[in-house]
Amino acid sequence: MKKFKYSEITPEKIYHTRRSFIKSMGYGLGTLSLSSIPLINAKASNLNEPTSYQDITTYNNYYEFGTGKGDPHRRAKNFSTRPWSVKIEGEVEKSLELPIEEVLAIKSEERILKLRCVEGWSMVIPWLGFSLSELLNKVEIKPSAKFVEFETVYNPEEMVGQRYPVLNWPYIEGLRLDEAMHPLTTVVTGLYGKPLPNQNGAPLRIFIPWKYGFKSAKAIVKIRLTKNMPNTAWKNASPREYGFYSNVNPEVDHPRWSQATERVIGESILAPRIETLMFNGYGDEVAHLYSGMDLKKNY
């Protein structure tokens, strides 16, 4: 399976570890591509150790199935992910409805990316997926489109959490169009080389590694191009706590807790928390999207 270019996906710390590893081997960066360094060679940072399949699939946030971390894996077992289709609509010349089979036929690759939850924990997940731009390029986007909205399925029969007004269902998330077109914005189709488990967002979800985990909506049925900034589920629930951008930023505290550090899921509870990095460590790739913006105001 083709690996995504490391310089584009690897959190900063690991990236630098790899660079020094390469240097210590006496190779120049010009002669040896970063992606040819096996994962096993750069263990200096705990960020580099993928979280276990067990933890990734049993410690979840998916309020449609309950607010407990163990609820999704217990309650999503029989969730129906077929038949399924994804509509791309809104500010496009012609809207498109793609059967899930066509989406899954797009070539996925392994992308080892870190998830940083706004609650202060993180995981490293070997996703399978492809860039969202590949899907968006299937439609002709009108110049009036400035944002992209993602909508999770509404199915209270099977999603017991949707029977309660915990959030304003269906779950809506959104990105600015240029964020959505960034190659790191991933349509996730699987993890650990397997189809995506229901609790992780089957049959498809998005993943934006430099933003807090809640931006990465699960079980998507609609992708809507819009003129105006989407009214996202979490911003709607608590605008003071959750902004539209929600870039990982250790310098901007959540009103109720610091965002400076994070707990690594899978480590002993006695293990020290690690430092949270700006843009979750993907700043080299994405910081340019926000040049000139006050990220304290645009949280």
Distance CA 216, CA 186 (A): 9
Instruction: Please identify, among the stretches 36-44, 89-97, 209-217, 290-298, the one whose residues bind Mo ion according to the rule CB under 5 A.
Output: 209-217
Residue ranges of E strands in the chain:
85-90, 96-99, 109-116, 121-131, 147-152, 172-176, 186-191, 194-195, 205-207, 220-226, 261-264, 274-275
111 Cα distance to chain centroid: 11
Q: Which does 216 bind (CB under 5 to 8 A by kind): ligand MTE, Mo ion, none?
A: ligand MTE
Residues 6+ apart with CB under 8 A from 14: 42, 44, 45, 47, 48, 281
Using CB under 5 A as the binding rule, the residues of this chain from 213 to 272 that contact Mo ion are 213-214
Q: By CB under 6 A, is residue 169 in contact with ligand MTE?
A: no
Q: Which does 130 bind (CB under 5 to 8 A by kind): ligand MTE, Mo ion, none?
A: none
With CB under 6 A as the contact rule, the residue among 4, 62, 244, 299 that binds ligand MTE is: 62
Instruction: Kindly state whether residue 117 participates in binding Mo ion, applying the rule CB under 5 A.
Output: yes
Enumerate residues 6+ apart whose C-beta is below 8 A from 160. Answer: 64, 65, 66, 75
Most distant pair of Cα atoms in the chain: their distance? 60
Whole-angstrom Cα distance, residue 119 to residue 212?
A: 9
The conformational region for residue 100 under phi > 0 = left, psi -120 to 50 = alpha, else beta, is alpha
Binding residues for ligand MTE, rule CB under 6 A, total 17
Locate all alpha helices (DSSP H) within the chain, ordered by sequence: 6-9, 12-24, 53-58, 71-75, 100-104, 132-136, 177-181, 233-237, 283-286
CB of 255 to Mo ion, least distance (A): 16
Q: Work out which of 17, 48, 60, 249 binds ligand MTE, going by CB under 6 A.
A: 60
Residue type, 295: L
**Under rule CB under 6 A, which residues in 185-214 are in contact with ligand MTE?**
200-201, 213-214
Collapse the DSSP code of 131 into the 3-class scheme (helix H, G, I; strand E, B; otherwise coil) and give the result: strand
Is 18 or 114 the residue whose CB approaches ligand MTE more closely? 114
Phi, psi of 147 (to 5 degrees): -135, 165
Would you give the binding string for ligand MTE spanning residues 64-93, x where CB under 6 A is met? x-----------------------------
Rule CB under 6 A: say whether 152 interacts with ligand MTE: yes
CA 245 to chain CA mean position, Å? 13
Alpha-carbon gap, residue 111 to 91, rounded angstroms: 30
Q: Does 108 bind ligand MTE (CB under 6 A)?
A: no
Among Mo ion, ligand MTE, none, residue 162 binds (CB under 5-8 Å by kind): none
Per-residue binding letters, 25-44, with ligand MTE (x by CB under 6 A): --------------------
218 binds ligand MTE (CB under 6 A): yes
By CB under 6 A, is residue 61 in contact with ligand MTE? yes
Task: Please state the φ and ψ torsions of residue 7, each to the nearest 5 degrees.
Answer: -60, -20
The answer to whether residue 63 forms part of the interface with Mo ion (CB under 5 A) is: no
Where does this chain touch ligand MTE (CB under 6 A) — which range of 6-14, 62-70, 177-185, 241-249? Answer: 62-70
The interface partner of residue 66, options being ligand MTE, Mo ion, none and the CB cut-off 5 to 8 Å by kind, is none
Where does this chain bind ligand MTE (CB under 6 A)?
60-64, 115, 117, 152, 171, 200-201, 213-214, 216-219
